[in-house]
Every structure is written in structure tokens, then in C-alpha cells.
Chain A
Amino acid sequence: GNSVTQMEGPVTLSEEAFLTINCTYTATGYPSLFWYVQYPGEGLQLLLKATKADDKGSNKGFEATYRKETTSFHLEKGSVQVSDSAVYFCALRRQGAQKLVFGQGTRLTINP
């Protein structure tokens, strides 16, 4: 079936550190891939997405590249800020489907 596996958290970094949160997926065909973020006390927000192989999604300094050969969609940011502290969810949407399939989430804490 379709599934998403994220690196386990929590992840704690210092401000301005480089961030990578790993995400791999299992799906048939060519799913669309997403990163959602959940800030404390708020609902899930779409951070970025990619809909085909080799696409790069980017937003707010975050990037992720759709790698079909490694079935991965790792989230990266060159210099994190305290305001990036949140829970990050990788998700996929199978070709032809409406529903999202989420990973278990990674809690990120950035210390000043």
C-alpha cells in the first residue's frame, strides 16, 4: 500500500544550523509529495509540494526535491530560525486519489 516514513524526532538544533528531515515513501505510480507544518496551537499548513519526479518545492527558505529513484522527499533548510520550531509532516497523494497519506511527523525545536 501507500505509506510515508519520516525520520524520528524530536530534532533539536541551534539557530542558523542546517536542517534535514528525511522522508521516504512507498507508492505505485507517480504520487504528489507534500510537506505540511503545524505550528504550536495552529492547524496544518502546506509548506511546499512537488508533483513529478525531479521537481523541487520551495517556500520560506525550505526546499525538498522529488527523487523517484530513491523514493525520497527530504526537507532541507540552510539556516533555521527559532520561529521554525514546529511539527513537520511529509505526505503523499496517490495518482488519481484525493486523500493525503501522512508520515508520523517530526517535532523540530530551534534554540536561540
Chain B
Amino acid sequence: GAGVSQSPRYKVAKRGQDVALRCDPISGHVSLFWYQQALGQGPEFLTYFQNEAQLDKSGLPSDRFFAERPEGSVSTLKIQRTQQEDSAVYLCASSLLAGLQETQYFGPGTRLLVL
């Protein structure tokens, strides 16, 4: 079956622009995660949804970052007034249930470059 998909795969933005990154989780997956991966680093947690509820947003680096999942499936990560330090790969992951033993399945990521 289809895995997690993300779009766009690459995004170039001028500093100060707003961007929206989309994640399509595996169909039926309850949990959805966003991570940020800087060049040469491991992914860092941004936020977590269980269905449409955003249960943890402790990793969002500033109030310029906003995520939503209004119908409990597709999610959008929005970054307002982008800065150069926002350049990174943004990874989305989903898991079938909300249990703590569930495997997270990752998408290919969106590579964001802010100029």
C-alpha cells in the first residue's frame, strides 16, 4: 500500500515568505508527527496529532510555526515569515494507533531552503 507522502518535495522561499508543507499519512493512521531535520543532524520533534487533536506542540521552535490536521487525516505545517534558520528537511510520520508500541512510518520529507 501507499506510504506517507509529502509535498512539495523541495521548496525554495525568500526570507519573510510564508510556506505550507503538506503531509498525507498512511490511510487510517491515527497518529501523525512532524519532525525537523537540519543538515547533518538527526530529526527533532516538532508536534504530534492524535486524529485531529494536537496533543503535543512542545517542539515548535516559535510562534511562526503552526500545524493543523482538521479532519484527522492530511496535515499541514505552516511557517510564517520564514527565516534562514528554518532551512531544513521537514519529516512527517504516522502510526496506526496511539499506543506506545506503535511503529512510526516516515515520509520522504520536504526540503526547505530559505534564501
Size of B's binding interface in residues, CB under 8 A:
27
Interface string of A72-106 (1 = CB under 8 A from B): 00000000000000000101010111111111110
Q: Quick check: A89 and B100 within 8 Å, CB to CB?
A: no
Q: Quick check: B106 and A101 within 8 Å, CB to CB?
A: no
Size of A's binding interface in residues, CB under 8 A:
25
A61 within 8 A of B: no
Q: Quick check: A43 and B40 within 8 Å, CB to CB?
A: no
B18 within 8 A of A: no
Contact surface of B with A, Cβ cutoff 8 Å: 3-4, 31, 33, 35, 40-45, 48, 55-56, 59, 91, 93, 98, 100-101, 103-109
* 10 pairs of residues in contact across A and B, judged by CB atoms under 8 Å: A32-B100, A32-B101, A36-B106, A43-B109, A91-B42, A95-B100, A97-B100, A98-B98, A101-B45, A105-B40
